[in-house]
């Protein structure tokens, strides 16, 4: 259980509490994220060589509070949920569901089975709490590159800020898996900007290169940086 420490506490106090609540590895990871701020290539090398480990250390109470404290994140999630619901899918799989922010927003809008999958145990721990009491949402530990579902298992498959966190080979595996398990729609919010943990892909261009028709594609109007945001929905069958 993570300790709740006010963010204005002195650095040594926060560091000590990070060690006490989640161990030295977590505290070291957190410190590196700050210290290496100005050196993105070192940051990628030291912090992001194993995305799954990164997200396991990154997930948890701190991350949850940080994200929930950002009004822009909520605005974007609400916008996405509304767009996705407009397609009236019969069921949805979200790959990389994190702590369940989008699944929760979807549940308020559509009454269809929802499944969330993520490779981070700490994110899923929070998802279970965040989604508690909501009907028909299944949460699974798994990897986007090798989905544990048969072909065409879901009417719609969604990723939101997930493919961009994977290096090119893994990103390609995820896209192929999306196409394999989706029946009618594949929807993505995947920014094109780069950072130490973002690879930045043009997902809409990828679908076009595969000869797949897009039902829509464009920036997310409520995003703080619409120039690099991208939402697209691929239409896989009539």
**Least distance to ligand SAM, CB of residue 13, Å:** 28
Nearer to ligand SAM, 165 or 175 (CB): 165
**Least distance to ligand SAM, CB of residue 189, Å:** 7
Question: Taking a C-beta distance cutoff of 8 angstroms, is the pair 7, 15 a contact?
Answer: no
Nearer to ligand SAM, 130 or 207 (CB): 130
Per-residue tokens: 24 = 């030295």
**Least distance to ligand SAM, CB of residue 175, Å:** 11
CA 158-145-70 angle, 5° bins: 45
Nearer to ligand SAM, 14 or 120 (CB): 120
**Least distance to ligand SAM, CB of residue 16, Å:** 27
Per-residue tokens: 204 = 């809409």
- Reduce the DSSP state of residue 146 to 3 states and report it: strand
- d(C-alpha 149, C-alpha 167), whole Å: 23
**Least distance to ligand SAM, CB of residue 15, Å:** 24
Nearer to ligand SAM, 14 or 160 (CB): 160
Nearer to ligand SAM, 60 or 96 (CB): 96
CA 223-111-236 angle, 5° bins: 65
Question: Taking a C-beta distance cutoff of 8 angstroms, is the pair 156, 185 a contact?
Answer: yes
Task: Give the binding site for ligand SAM (CB under 6 A).
Answer: 51, 55, 95-98, 101-102, 118-120, 123, 143-145, 160-162, 165-166, 170, 174
- d(C-alpha 127, C-alpha 131), whole Å: 6
Choose among 58, 33, 76, 66: nearest CA to 123: 58
- d(C-alpha 171, C-alpha 192), whole Å: 13
Nearer to ligand SAM, 60 or 98 (CB): 98
**Least distance to ligand SAM, CB of residue 8, Å:** 26
């Amino acid at each position: 259980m993570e300790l709740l420490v006010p963010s204005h506490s002195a650095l040594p106090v926060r560091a000590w509490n990070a060690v006490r609540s989640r161990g030295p590895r977590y505290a070291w990871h957190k410190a590196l994220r700050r210290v290496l701020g100005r050196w993105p290539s070192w940051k990628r090398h030291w912090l992001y060589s194993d995305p799954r480990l990164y997200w396991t250390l990154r997930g948890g109470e701190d991350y949850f509070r940080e994200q929930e404290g950002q009004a822009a994140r909520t605005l974007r999630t609400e916008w996405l949920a509304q767009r996705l619901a407009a397609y009236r899918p019969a069921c949805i799989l979200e790959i990389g569901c994190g702590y369940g922010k989008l699944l929760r927003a979807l549940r308020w809008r559509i009454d269809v089975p929802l499944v969330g999958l993520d490779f981070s145990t700490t994110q899923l721990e929070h998802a279970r709490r965040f989604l508690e009491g909501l009907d028909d949402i299944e949460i699974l530990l798994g990897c986007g590159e090798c989905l544990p579902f048969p072909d065409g298992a879901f009417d719609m498959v969604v990723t939101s800020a997930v493919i961009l966190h994977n290096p090119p080979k893994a990103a390609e595996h995820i896209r192929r898996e999306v196409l394999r398990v989706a029946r009618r729609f594949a929807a993505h919010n995947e920014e094109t900007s780069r950072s130490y943990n973002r690879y930045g892909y043009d997902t809409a261009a990828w679908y076009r290169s595969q000869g797949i028709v897009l039902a829509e594609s464009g920036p997310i109007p409520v995003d703080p940086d619409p120039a690099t945001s991208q939402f697209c929905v691929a239409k896989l069958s009539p």
